[in-house]
Structure 1
Amino acid sequence: MEHNYIFLSSELGLEKSQIENTYNLYKEGATIAFIARYRKELTKGLDEDTIRNIIDRLNYLENLDKRKEEVIRLIEEQGKLTEELKKDIESSTVLQRVEDLYLPYKKKKKTKADIAKEQGLEELSKKILEGITKDELEILAKDFITDLVVDQKDAIEKASLIIAQDISEDIKVREYLREQILEKANISASLIEKNKQLDENLVYKDYYEFTSSIKNVKTHNVLALNRAEKEKILKVSISFDDITQDKVYKNILNKTFKKKDKSQEELYLSIVVDAYTRLLFPSIENEVRNILTTNSDEDAIKVFSKNLESLLLQPPLYKKTILGLDPGIRTGCKLAIISSEGFYVASDVIYPVDYAHSEKQLELSRKKLKEYIQKYKVDIIAIGNGTASRETEKFVAENIKGLDVKYVIVNEAGASVYSASKLAAEEFPKLDVTVRGTISIARRIQDPLSELVKIDPKSIGVGMYQHDVNQKELNNSLEETIVKIVNRVGVNLNTASYALLSFVSGVKKNIAKNIVDYRKENGDFKDRQSLLKVKGLGAKAYEQMAGFIVIPESKNPFDNTIIHPESYELAQKILELVSESKESLYSDYKAVREKLSKLKEKDVIEKMKKDYGVETIKDVYNALLLDRRDPRDSYPQPMLKSDILNIEDLKEGMELEAVVRNVAKFGAFVDIGLKNDAMIHISELSDKFVKDPSDILSVGDIIKVRVLNIDKERKRVALSRKNMK
């Protein structure tokens, strides 16, 4: 492991001790969130992303070491391991090179070249490589004729097969071709005409005649091509232009045939072309396609994770009574009331779609909506964005005029997944699944983080190609994102569901359930220390989680800060510097903070550094000095509305407000109040060049846009942010 610490230290530009300490903490059971926040002395202040990168890279290098050992053993068992080959394998820093080195020794099905070797033609192949003339080869080939080798031509062809196979397994040739394809080849797609009907909605129309250099192909293009190929709609291939192809042949020929005879040029080229077309190119083409897919997967997963992070960080609208509406036509629109404390109050069904429901139904629905708003003093109406959403929005907009209430369109993706889940059944055992889904829609406005963690992140509508990318990598990344945000925000121990608690540092799902069960049986937790009474929750789990949960009602004010219990003594000593105690934080917090603020951080460090780490002193001092701030406060509030917009109302050049719903590599999808989200292409996102839309936009952002183009037939609207103030 030592050599990996040294290697990674050089690669990442970090001290070896930072890497070693970080990995040791992780191996001992510390979470990334805990290491980043409470072990800064050991890591020298590394952030979560760097810590995660260190762990991922060390795991990769550890697996690489295991594979090297395995490959060396397998080659050694064949009696073919040389000292030079062993050194080459041991010095490899990427898995692909190890596999390339192992390829000639890898057990595989018997090939024509293997059969030719068994027939004694390897010696003839060596003579061809030595550069004998055409006439000399014809004469020499006679000596290789047997019952299995019928004539000179057969002997030369079979000897050529051996050379072709050796070319295809030559590491230098493979690395050269891989590099050339990645740098100079094109990826193309064409429609499979007989399967055109499979693309019923013309989803892949832009790819029916598609060509891009591999070097510049966009990641979303790769994922779209992969999906269309899998659905047998497109034929996808990689190729060089003719000039580059000839150069590649010539280069491989020169790498293979060190000694050449002019009379054999045709034979040399035929061997290279055979090796290339039959063995080498198909193998490297698959590798390159895998490289493109892996890179595209990583890119899509990063975008998805970033969108999820922005969605989870949307600010809650606490202390607001919400009326949730889950639109529908045939079965009506489900309605649910959520109190300002987040509790379910009532539910009903209304029929608000004018073209689908009778006047009697419409009139009763108008009456019910107004009665519920007035009876429960509803602050906000949350309308799901599914089927009949805009018809429901129109109904709401018409019937809240004059009332002190606003409405908001909510992305309802995943509500049905939640409503049918075991968790929903436990939360609302007596309610129908449709009501549970409506409650989920309402609660997404009241406290997005607490509600969205209950749903599989792939189902909440902020990713693209989520079913096409590597599912294990996607799940890991999304879970890491949720864990990061939950621990950054913090969790109220006495109100959190077990779904939310299960993402807290150090808390496993069974422990999260035990915490909730303990709370039901014994009432609210009085302090952090009481966690140790929970079944199955030991000292290690307590250490990992304590700083990420808060108890506002605790008698110990430190329990409502990010100060870890292991640093309570330090916090008390800092307070003593201004002749105060923790009790005074409750009696006169403002006065205590004023006294603390008159201290200089460097003076506090100087007085405490003999017994405590500098980074810990800084964090504890600042935690005492400042209010415990929710990072979500800095994000834009949801856009509340009181009127509706139709596509017929739009005109080119019109300026509007929009809510960002999804960010992709090629642009952003935004809600401007129409049935379908409108799109801003990457080229229209800013007056300046934009390399990546996520650099300037996040899910939930409220932005000003200008209507660029309206396609009423396809119900598509293109927008621009250029020249917008």
Structure 2
Amino acid sequence: MTMTILDTMMNKCFHAAGEASGNAGVKSAEEEQAGSKGPKNKYEEEPKEKLVLSEEKKAEIQERILKQISAELQLPASKVQTTMGLLDEGNTIPFIARYRKEMTGELDENQLRDIEERLQYLRNLEDRKLEVVRLIDEQGKLTAELRKSIEGAAKLQEIEDLYRPYRQKRKTRASVAKERGLEPLAEWIWKQPRQGSLEQEAERYVNADKQVASAADAIQGAMDILAENIADDAKIRAWVRRYTQDQGVLHTEAKDAKAESVYEMYYAYQEPVKRLPPHRILAINRGEREEVLKVNLVVAVDKIHDYIARQIIKGQSIVQDVLRAVVEDAYKRLIAPSIEREVRGEMTEMGEEQAIKIFAENLRNLLLQAPVKGHVVLGVDPAYRTGCKLAVIDDTGKMLEIAVTYPTPPNNKVAEAKAKFKQLISKHGVELIVIGNGTASRETEQFVAELIGEIKEQKLKYLIVSEAGASVYSASKLAQTEFPDLDVAERSAISIARRLQDPLAELVKIEPKAIGVGQYQHDVSQKRLDENLKAVVESAVNHVGVDLNTASPSLLSYVSGVNATLAKNIVKYREENGKFGSRQELSKVPRLGAKTFEQCVGFMRIPGGGNPLDNTPIHPESYDVVDRLFKELRLELAQLGSQQLLALLQTLEPEELAPKLGVGVPTLRDILESLQRPGRDPRDEVPAPIFRTDVLQLEDLVPGMELTGTVRNVIDFGAFVDIGIKNDGLVHISQLKNGFVKHPMDVVSVGDIVQVWVLNVDQKKGRVGLTMKKPQQ
């Protein structure tokens, strides 16, 4: 072959698909690899058939999954197996965690959810393995070695790499070349002959009918076939992916370096892929999506070329230069674009997982904030032009009166507003004022602080609460059902007031992701976010328990085993038949079967019912254990809550008593704890919120000033603390405590009451830097 033809081949292989002779209309490299304009479901081109497995095969797969979960989570196989069985029987995580401790070896809720998540993933993985084996077998190309590789794959990506050469492809340069009869030429080149002439061999394939106009066209087509074969090689793809993850560097630059934006730190930025923290990944993604940033993943291309060449080129041959060109083409045109997408996709998944984890933890802490009981509350939904909506609620959350005032600009009817506030406070005996933190919040706070200063005979205090999601609730069908005669802002004022009295009961009415205590929650998989946040709400609700006679359908729907329909049925039964007198009466609710009863009843509470145990976390299945316990102690159940019983219970040793009562030690331990504090709300142990009587201005702050604040949000790089000014102050991760901090959540949680000191104040941007490190005296 002459150098002219070789140069032509090496040059053409780097051009776009349409530039190759006779390839007009063929998919571009990006479309070939990513299917960017094809179906969203990358498996949907294959018809799915019901796979029927033998019992032996099912057992083999189950055993494989069991061993993998046990190894991954470092848990005993027996505990994992039991948990898998309980989940398959339809038991919920809260129920298993609370009432099946003996069976699981006291695995906690997080461990159980990890098992559930991995079980679902691995079963889906096994389904995909079976599907891929079937599809390859139908093509008559399944070998024993390939089957073994597929069945041994630990990740979905490994399966897809193995299946890639056998997948149905849309029209590509390689498929066009095969249609033109050039596959034998590609095989001839692949054998790497030491003698002969590539040009002469290629001349045999010149055929006007098949649109092969010249030897050069034939060679180009053969090279396209070989490039696709290399790009489909599972071993090569796995190595390139791993090398890119380990050695790749993400580069970002501004599309317009003169434009101001929140992404300025990324206008000329680079960082190794493996070191990028999750929050930075999501920030870069957002900047790219908003077309502020250009992002590239850079790797040492020569090293990748060398590795692939070593796998392909077996020594001196007349085609080694052509194969080298094929290697470079395969990487640049086919492998690199898809591997970059895969690596960045994995980076995004990591960022999303962390963001979801942070949101979930913050949400749980927010939901479990201490309720402020026994007070008449005035809720204020602040605004400018439309005025501040007011709602007075009694100590049970019942709405007493609605009003509107205009103390803020542009109306500034301060005297009139003060008169209305004083009238409501006097009439209903208001003790606490709760202000939403939205528009006009701080102006309203200033007004309320002045008002409190004028009403000295009453011990009035105020608090600002997050109103995130209040507007979502106020416009919902639920809010319309609760308060059909009120407008959206009036309902919002009620919701703001109730958030103080019982945060959990009020916040469950709102879509969890609308509550806003995380980072980049709008940039993550919304389906995954919803699943995780609903699990958090479910966990919090069942941890606290619900009053069966007062709980709303929203709250009931998060109880173990209860769905939205059953929650409505429970409320409807309550409305038609009056209050529940016992837990057992739950079984009379339409469509609430035995399994659901078992799952939910332990989390239902009936204060003041006929059986005092119905107001404890003790499951009815253990009531006979309690009977035996009281007989053993020679006491009556009526003594529950007495100091005598409390003192006696504290002396008991569960390990010694359990065998006598015929019950497991973990269950007895829980029973004894429940009997010591019947009717206890676990949130009562959480510190109460900070109430204020005066307002603090940004101008009042000076470095070194000590303040008490409430943690409002925890993110990867620090925590935001409400110190009573318009914007929350930031405690950077480096300022949380002396010494190394792996993550802010290791030090603080949403709702924590913390002592902070002012580090710096940016009057122009309204920002305050705080520290939790006590200054040296």
TM class by smaller structure? over 0.9
Aligned to 1:357: 411
Query: Where does residue 694 of structure 1 map in the other structure?
Result: 745
Please identify, of 681-690 and 289-298, the stretch whose mean Cα deviation from structure 2 is larger: 681-690
- State the partner residue of 1:671: 722
Choose the corresponding residue for 1:181, options 230, 244, 251.
244
Alignment partner, residue 221 of structure 1: 280
Q: Which residue of 2 aligns with 1:705?
A: 756
Is the partner of 1:179 in helix, strand or coil? helix
* 2-structure distance, mates of 1:146, 1:428: 80
Partner of 1:600: 653
| Pair 1:60 & 2:121 matched | yes
Question: Shift of the alpha carbon at 1:204?
Answer: 2.4
Deviation at 1:247, TM superposition (A): 1.4
Distance in 2 between residues matched to 1:416 and 1:12, nearest whole Å? 41
Unaligned runs of 5+ in 1: none
- In the alignment, structure 1 residue 113 sits paired with structure 2 residue 174: yes
- Which of 160, 169, 177 aligns to 2:232? It is 169
Residues of 1 paired with 2:703 and 2:647: CA distance?
A: 55
8 A contact 2:231–2:331 mirrored in 1: yes
Change in CA separation of 1:592 and 1:653 when aligned onto 2, cut-off 3 Å: closer
Amino acid at match of 2:445: E
1:507 corresponds to which residue?
Answer: 562
Structure 1 residue 30 and structure 2 residue 91: aligned? yes
Partner of 2:223: 160
Residue pair 1:130, 1:259 contacting (<8 A) in 2 also: no
Deviations 1:124-168 (A, max 9, x none): 333434443587434444444443434443333322222211111
Pick the aligned partner of 2:263 from 204, 210, 229: 204
Do the aligned residues in 1 keep the contact of 2:376 with 2:430 (CA within 8 Å)?
A: yes
1:134–1:264 CA contact under 8 A, matched in 2: no
What SS does structure 1 have at the residue aligned with 2:378? strand
Whether the aligned pair in 2 keeps the contact of 1:687 and 1:723 (CA below 8 Å) is no
Q: Take 1:607 and 1:110, find their aligned partners in 2: how far apart are those partners?
A: 75
Question: 1:331 — aligned with what?
Answer: 386
CA distance in 2, matches of 1:28, 1:604: 31
1:42 aligns with one of 96, 99, 103? 103
- Residue of structure 1 equivalent to 2:540: 485
Could you tell me which amino acid in structure 1 is paired with residue 434 of structure 2?
Answer: A
Specify the SS of the correspondent of 1:400: helix
CA distance in 2, matches of 1:468, 1:552: 43
2:70 corresponds in structure 1 to 9
Counterpart amino acid of residue 76 in structure 2: E
Q: Name the amino acid aligned to 2:82.
A: N
Equivalent pair of 1:370/1:400 in contact (CA under 8 Å): no
Partner Cα separation in structure 1 for residue 229 and residue 710 of structure 2: 59
Aligned to 1:682: 733
Q: 1:585 offset after TM fit, Å?
A: 2.2
Pick aligned residue for 1:248 from 289, 292, 304 = 304
Question: What is the aligned counterpart of 2:212 among 144, 149, 164?
Answer: 149
Kindly state the Cα deviation for residue 11 of structure 1 after the two structures are TM-superposed: 2.9
Written as runs of structure 1 = structure 2, the 5 A alignment for 1:265-280 is: 266-280=321-335
> Residue type of the partner of 1:563?
I
SS of the aligned residue for 1:707 comes to strand
Query: CA separation in 2, counterparts of 1:363 and 1:257?
Result: 89
- How high is the TM-score relative to the length of structure 1? 0.94
Contact 1:574 1:621 in 2 (8 A): no
Asked whether 1:236 is paired with 2:295, we answer: yes
Work out whether 1:257 is the aligned partner of 2:313.
yes
Deviation at 1:627, TM superposition (A): 4.4
Which residue in the other structure is 2:427 paired with?
375
Contact 2:654–2:665 under 8 Å retained in 1: no
What does residue range 395-410 of structure 1 map to in structure 2 within 5 Å?
395-401=447-453, 402=456, 403-410=458-465
More displaced stretch, 475-484 vs 247-256: 247-256
Q: 2:551 maps to which residue? A: 496
Q: Which amino acid aligns with 1:457?
A: P
- Answer yes or no: is the 8 Å Cα contact 2:587–2:597 preserved in 1: yes
Deviations 1:668-715 (A, max 9, x none): 222222222222222222222222111211111122222222222222
Q: Aligned-pair distance for 1:575?
A: 1.0
Show CA shifts across 1:91-125 (max 9, x none). Answer: 11211101000000111112222232333433333
- Count of residue correspondences: 710
Change (3 A) 1:431 1:110: closer
Partner of 2:443: 391
Counterpart in 1 of 2:509?
A: 454
Counterpart CA distance in 1 for 2:69 and 2:451 is 63
Report if the CA contact (8 A) 2:382-2:441 is conserved.
yes
Cα 1:659–1:584 change in 2 (3 A) is: closer
Give deviations 1:423-463, integer Å, cap 9, x for gaps: 11221222222111000001101110010000111111212
The alpha-carbon distance between structure 1 residues 260 and 445, as it changes in their structure 2 partners (threshold 3 A), is farther
Deviation at 1:475, TM superposition (A): 0.4
CA distance in 1, matches of 2:721, 2:320: 62
Look up the match of 2:29: none
Structure-1 separation of matches of 2:446 and 2:648: 56
Q: For the Cα contact (< 8 Å) 1:192–1:235, is it kept in 2?
A: yes
In structure 2, what residue type is equivalent to 1:77? E
Structure 1 counterpart of 2:16: none
Q: How many angstroms apart in 2 are the aligned matches of 1:135 and 1:710?
A: 79
Native 8 Å contact 1:185 1:214 kept in 2:
yes
Deviation of 1:393 (Å)? 0.6
2:41 paired residue number: none
- For the residue of structure 2 that corresponds to 1:193, the secondary structure is coil
What amino acid is the match of 1:236?
V
The one-character-per-residue Cα deviations of 1:325-374 (angstroms, maximum 9, x if unpaired) are 11111111111111122211112112222x5234xx21111122223223
SS at match of 2:225: helix
Q: For residues 678 and 24 of structure 1, do their structure 2 counterparts lie closer, same or farther at Cα, with a shift above 3 Å needed?
A: same
Return the alpha-carbon distance in structure 2 between the equivalents of residues 712 and 366 of structure 1. Answer: 30
Paired AA for residue 116 in structure 2: I
2:649 match: secondary structure: helix
**CA RMSD in angstroms, aligned pairs only:** 2.0
2:192 and 2:576 map into 1 onto residues whose CA distance is: 88
- 1:418-457 alignment, distance < 5 Å: 418-457=473-512
Deviation string 1:200-220 (CA, Å, 9 cap, x unpaired) is x72322222232211111212
Indicate the residue corresponding to 1:346 in structure 2: 401
Question: Helix, strand or coil for the counterpart of 1:51?
Answer: helix
Aligned to 1:417: 472
For residue 679 of structure 1, give the secondary structure of its aligned residue in structure 2.
strand
Q: Is this contact kept in 1: 2:245–2:274, CA < 8 A?
A: yes
* Deviates further, 553-562 or 362-371: 362-371
1:570 and 2:633 matched: no
Matched residues in 1 for 2:684 and 2:621: separation? 28
Unaligned runs of 5+ in 2: 1-61
**Are 2:192 and 2:320, in contact at CA under 8 Å, matched by a contact in 1?**
no
Which deviates more, 50-59 or 263-272? 263-272
Q: Distance in 2 between matches of 1:429 and 1:660?
A: 35
User: Could you tell me how far apart the structure 1 residues matched to 2:705 and 2:470 are?
Assistant: 34
Alpha-carbon distance in 1 for matches of 2:422, 2:169 = 74
Change (3 A) 1:684 1:266: farther
Deviation digits for residues 451-502 of structure 1, max 9, x if unmatched?
A: 0000111111212222221111100100000000000011111121111111
